[in-house]
Amino acid sequence: MKLGASMKGAALVMARRLPGLLLTLLVSSIFIFSAMYLAPGNPVSALTGGRQVSPAAEKALEAEYHLNDSFVSQYLHWLGGAVHGDFGTSYVARGQSVGSQIVDRLPTTLLLLAMASLAVFIFGVLLGSIAAIRGRRTESVITTVTAVGMGIPSFVAGSFLISFFAVRLGWFPVFGPGEGLPDQIYHLILPTIALALATLAYVAQVSRVAIGNELNRDHVDTAYARGMGGGWVIRKHVLRNAAIPITTVCGVTIAFLITGTAVVEQVFQLNGIGSLLIDSVISKDLPMVQGICFVAVIAIVLINLVVDGLYGVLDPRVRR
């Protein structure tokens, strides 16, 4: 009964948040398309690879890709296709749709994000909990280590991991995503560490503060005074009440991981969506950049929607 009420409350919270998130998605789509529309350079030059073409061929390309239409007309045409999963045709890979190339690269990126998100949630919350509960020297050590971890950029961490663990020790492969799920997981261990390191440290810091604040509350002292066990008090009174800020920061950091995949995939040559985005920016493949950015925004909006739903499960006050 309690679980059913929690799920119903979560659904209601998500329903209330959905219109605002859809509006966010619409505004983001305008910014994404506008940025690409205003980007310097000639789309025809990107289509032809910089080669000189005849005026007739140039007009044919402009007509094919609707380059002579007004901004509003181009945006509505692009948005209408994007709603149905059609982001147009790549300027560089002529004849190939943007959507098909994104789908081909998506599994590697999703697996990397899943592994990094699990590492951030499990180890970040675990370290923060240990620091808050143990206190004193343990808290000082974990706080210092995580503070250093937050200051290490992912490309620096990736370069060190490749140099030490892949090249010097030979424990892991240097580049590539691998083939087959077990081999892919093995290949993605170092990229996962590089991607998750800074955000894991941040989650640990927030978890330490949130759990530490709950440990100092009066109702926790009262529970201990009544003779309740430490493990029960921590589970029922401390971790549950600290779950809201921890859930919030985990949702934010997972969204941050999505943007961080581009650098990590480029460092480890993983051929995921992130590296495809960088290659597309360099080659001025505007439809590809627009498609990848819009997919990333959709993922971030969905993460926010899930986090809002979790609020309804974790805290009855949110449901009311």
Mean pLDDT of the region 197-214: 84
pLDDT of res. 198: 86
Q: How confident is the model at residue 80 (pLDDT cuts 50, 70, 90)?
A: confident
pTM of the predicted model over 0.75: yes
- Lowest model confidence (mean pLDDT) among 17-26, 88-97, 203-212: 88-97
For residue 296, is it within any domain? Answer: no
pLDDT of res. 41: 63
**Tens of pLDDT, residues 116-157:** 989 988 898 888 888 888 877 888 888 888 888 888 888 888
If asked whether residues 141 and 221 sit together in one domain, one would say yes
Across 92-106, 107-121, 150-164, the highest mean pLDDT is recorded for 107-121
If asked whether residues 138 and 263 sit together in one domain, one would say yes
User: pLDDT exceeding 90 applies to what percent of the chain?
Assistant: 2
Please determine, for residue 257, whether its predicted confidence score (pLDDT) is greater than 70: yes
For residue 18, is it within any domain? Answer: yes
CATH of the domain at 254: 1.10.3720.10
Task: Domain count for the chain, please give it.
Answer: 2
d(CA 250, CA 272): 23
For residue 297, is it within any domain? Answer: no
For residue 288, is it within any domain? Answer: no
If asked whether residues 125 and 264 sit together in one domain, one would say yes
For residue 289, is it within any domain? Answer: no
If asked whether residues 247 and 116 sit together in one domain, one would say yes
Please determine, for residue 269, whether its predicted confidence score (pLDDT) is greater than 80: yes
If asked whether residues 238 and 318 sit together in one domain, one would say no
Please determine, for residue 239, whether its predicted confidence score (pLDDT) is greater than 80: no
If asked whether residues 116 and 11 sit together in one domain, one would say no
Please determine, for residue 184, whether its predicted confidence score (pLDDT) is greater than 50: yes
CA distances from residue 47 to 67, 68, 276, 287 in whole angstroms, order as listed: 12, 15, 17, 11
pLDDT of res. 157: 86
If asked whether residues 148 and 267 sit together in one domain, one would say yes
pLDDT of res. 302: 83
If asked whether residues 85 and 25 sit together in one domain, one would say yes
3-state secondary structure the chain: CHHHHHHHHHHHHHHHHHHHHHHHHHHHHHHHHHHHHCCCCCHHHHHHCCCCCCHHHHHHHHHHCCCCCCHHHHHHHHHHHHHCCCCCECCCCCCCEHHHHHHHHHHHHHHHHHHHHHHHHHHHHHHHHHHHHHCHHHHHHHHHHHHHHHCCCHHHHHHHHHHHHHHHCCCCCCCCCCCCHHHHHHHCHHHHHHHHHHHHHHHHHHHHHHHHHHHCCHHHHHHHHCCCCHHHHHHHHHHHHHHHHHHHHHHHHHHHHHHHHHHHHHHHCCCCHHHHHHHHHHCCCHHHHHHHHHHHHHHHHHHHHHHHHHHHHHCHHHHC
If asked whether residues 163 and 240 sit together in one domain, one would say yes
If asked whether residues 12 and 85 sit together in one domain, one would say yes
If asked whether residues 81 and 153 sit together in one domain, one would say no
The average confidence (pLDDT) of the chain is: 78
Do residues 255 and 57 make contact, with C-beta atoms less than 8 angstroms apart? Answer: no
Across 45-54, 81-90, 168-177, 191-200, the highest mean pLDDT is recorded for 191-200
pLDDT of res. 250: 79
User: pLDDT exceeding 70 applies to what percent of the chain?
Assistant: 77
Q: How confident is the model at residue 1 (pLDDT cuts 50, 70, 90)?
A: very low
Mean pLDDT of the region 38-66: 66
For residue 210, is it within any domain? Answer: yes
d(CA 117, CA 251): 9
For residue 98, is it within any domain? Answer: no
For residue 298, is it within any domain? Answer: no
Q: Give me the domain span that covers residue 73.
A: 1-92+304-320
If asked whether residues 65 and 124 sit together in one domain, one would say no
